[in-house]
Amino acid sequence: MIALIRNAQKYRERNAIISEGITYTYQQLLDTSKDIALALLSGDHDLQEARIAFLVPPGFSYVAIQWGIWRAGGIAVPLCVKHPLASIQYVIEDTEASVIVHSSEFESLLAPLKSLPNVRFVRSGQFRKQQGSLPEIDSRQRAMILYTSGTTGNPKGVVTTHQNIEAQITSLTTSWEWSQNDHILNVLPLHHVHGIVNVLCCALWSGACCQFLDRFDAAKIFDLFSENEVNLFMAVPTIYFKLIAHYNELSKSEQHALSVALKKFRLMVSGSAALPISVMEKWKQISGHELLERYGMTEMGMAISNPYRVERRPGHIGQPLAGVQVRLADENDHPISDTMSGEIQVKGPNVFKEYWNRPKATSEAFTQDGWFKTGDIAVLENGSYRILGRNSVDIIKSGGYKISALEIEEVLRSHSQIKDCAVVGIPDEEWGEIIGASIVLLSGTLHPDQLKAWLKDKLPGYKSPKKYLFQEDLPRNVMGKVTKNELKQLFIDQ
């Protein structure tokens, strides 16, 4: 049996999930996920490693479906509730999903896909109590596919097995001392490793309680913090930035009451993007907490973390987590001495199995001796790693989302008025980076609002450029290659 579900049996009477004001126990999660698994299997469907996509808001139903898919032997493919149909369809077609589970609010969005051949649509509210037995699940089986942007145009599906997920969970639960007394608030999107593994799965592995907010809302988060139930919080730097901005708008007495509540937390973590020291310091003044910064990636869960108990180093990501091997390597994948900077390469049971249906991309992601090449450049300083940047200018991190410049360029180039374009990440205190697009028009004029409206059904909102620069030609070197660093500077100087 899947370890996460076997574990849950130790905590049957405890609270597992709170969503929409309702509290659900581990027993309810076990029962409902079993019903879902049996319903998915009914009609003699063999779901071993079948891709089952699901589109439901964060909450109990999401978790019960995720567990139901796993218990039926399937591979869980979470879809993003904010994505336009084109992005959802891409994931469904790329994974060749045979079942799509969705809640009623997505009925009309998904309607155009109903004609897809060999796809079964299942409404999440329609699961009935079922009798029957569930298949044996091997921990080496594929469990989940999450989509991530890379240096190729289209997002790739990152496949993890049950064993991978278990390794990702246990290195965090031991390093950060999770226990059944913990209560975490989950405000993160549930199609990425941060919200799914670090928050949800770690809580459920530990017998703790995971409370959901359906979306990010600073005022609601502070209200919940003030109830003194939540004692753990994990978020991306942009969220801490937004919480600080909201705190600054409160009255002195509200600020005081909130700070008192925050000081009682056990742990607050930041990751998915570099934490600006200014954000760390302001949050410390507000909450009394030095944010624990850690480093990870969809392909490997978390790899490096500041320590839980001893001193954390601002601007640094810390040391390898339990069970994870880390090295720095040069461009020939040779390990380098500790004093030099190089690519972070990672090995361990936490590292993913493959990119779905992309053997070439998978083999290119590993060195010949099996190290995963992260593409992040770091240096080791007094025993603590510090990220210096990425080896590709085409990877942008905005608000914790990884975004491929090439994917956006490909879409922009399909506009009838666009002759050429180049997309870059522009440094920004709130978002880490924001997307800038330089556009060369064939003729006429185009307003950024028109482009934004045109992109709306083609790309998720967070992939839509925030700044545009219309140019006669793109900056290029003598070889004719676009000089993206020069372009970045043009945006900065704007």
In angstroms, give the least distance from the CB of 479 to ligand AMP.
28
Q: From the list ligand MLC, ligand AMP, none, which binds 216 (C-beta under 5 to 8 Å, kind-based)? A: ligand MLC
Q: From the list ligand MLC, ligand AMP, none, which binds 293 (C-beta under 5 to 8 Å, kind-based)? A: ligand AMP
Residue/partner pairs of 116-121 with CB below 8 Å, 24 or more apart: 116/92, 119/92
274 lies in the site for ligand AMP, by CB under 6 A: yes
Q: Which amino acid is at 96?
A: E
Q: Of all helices (H) and strands (E), which one includes residue 137?
A: none
Q: From the list ligand AMP, ligand MLC, none, which binds 10 (C-beta under 5 to 8 Å, kind-based)? A: none
Q: From the list ligand MLC, ligand AMP, none, which binds 387 (C-beta under 5 to 8 Å, kind-based)? A: ligand AMP
Q: How many CB atoms lie within 10 A of CB 323?
A: 14
Choose the binding region for ligand AMP from 81-89, 91-99, 247-255, 293-301 (rule: CB under 6 A). Answer: 293-301
* # binding residues, ligand MLC (CB under 6 A): 24
Judged on CB neighbours under 10 Å (0-12, 13-18, 19+), 298 is buried
Of residues 126-165, those binding ligand AMP (CB under 6 A): 148
Applying CB under 6 A, among 103, 272, 350, 398 the residue interacting with ligand AMP is: 272
Applying CB under 6 A, among 30, 77, 185, 236 the residue interacting with ligand MLC is: 236
Applying CB under 6 A, among 295, 371, 372, 431 the residue interacting with ligand AMP is: 295
Q: From the list ligand MLC, ligand AMP, none, which binds 189 (C-beta under 5 to 8 Å, kind-based)? A: ligand MLC
Applying CB under 6 A, among 402, 415, 463, 488 the residue interacting with ligand AMP is: 402
Q: From the list ligand AMP, ligand MLC, none, which binds 366 (C-beta under 5 to 8 Å, kind-based)? A: none
Identify the CA nearest to 158 among candidates 12, 298, 347: 298
In angstroms, give the least distance from the CB of 417 to ligand MLC.
21
Choose the binding region for ligand MLC from 3-11, 165-173, 184-192, 418-426 (rule: CB under 6 A). Answer: 184-192
Choose the binding region for ligand MLC from 66-74, 191-199, 381-389, 471-479 (rule: CB under 6 A). Answer: 191-199
Of residues 62-91, those binding ligand MLC (CB under 6 A): 82
How far apart CA 229 and CA 207 sit, in angstroms, is 15
Question: In sequence order, what are the beta bridge partners of 418?
Answer: 441
> What residues contact residue 194 under an 8 Å CB cut-off, 6+ apart?
188, 234, 236, 271, 272, 296, 400
Q: 29 near 64, Cβ under 8 Å?
A: yes
Q: Which amino acid is at 392?
A: S
Helix (H, G, I), strand (E, B) or coil at 305: strand
238 lies in the site for ligand MLC, by CB under 6 A: yes
Judged on CB neighbours under 10 Å (0-12, 13-18, 19+), 452 is middle
Q: Of all helices (H) and strands (E), which one includes residue 490?
A: helix 484-493
Q: 175 near 206, Cβ under 8 Å?
A: no
Question: In sequence order, what are the beta bridge partners of 421?
Answer: 439
How far apart CA 306 and CA 176 sit, in angstroms, is 10
Choose the binding region for ligand AMP from 33-41, 49-57, 160-168, 272-280 (rule: CB under 6 A). Answer: 272-280
Written as one string, the DSSP assignment of 167-230 is: HHHHHHHHHTT--TT-EEEE-S-TTSHIIIIIIIIHHHHHT-EEEE-SS--HHHHHHHHHTT--
398 lies in the site for ligand MLC, by CB under 6 A: yes
Q: At what angle do helices 277-287 and 252-263 cross, to 10 degrees?
A: 90
How far apart CA 350 and CA 171 sit, in angstroms, is 9
How far apart CA 71 and CA 132 sit, in angstroms, is 12
Applying CB under 6 A, among 101, 193, 378, 474 the residue interacting with ligand MLC is: 193
Smaller CB separation from ligand AMP, 400 or 465: 400
Q: What angle do CA 137, 143, 148 make, to 5 degrees?
A: 175
In angstroms, give the least distance from the CB of 336 to ligand AMP.
19
Applying CB under 6 A, among 125, 383, 427, 461 the residue interacting with ligand MLC is: 461
Q: How many CB atoms lie within 10 A of CB 254?
A: 13
Applying CB under 6 A, among 68, 155, 271, 436 the residue interacting with ligand MLC is: 271
Applying CB under 6 A, among 171, 173, 175, 272 the residue interacting with ligand MLC is: 272
Interface positions with ligand MLC (CB under 6 A) = 82, 188-189, 192-195, 215-216, 236, 238-239, 271-272, 296-298, 398-401, 431, 461-462
Interface positions with ligand AMP (CB under 6 A) = 148, 193, 271-274, 293, 295-298, 317, 374, 376, 387, 390, 397, 402
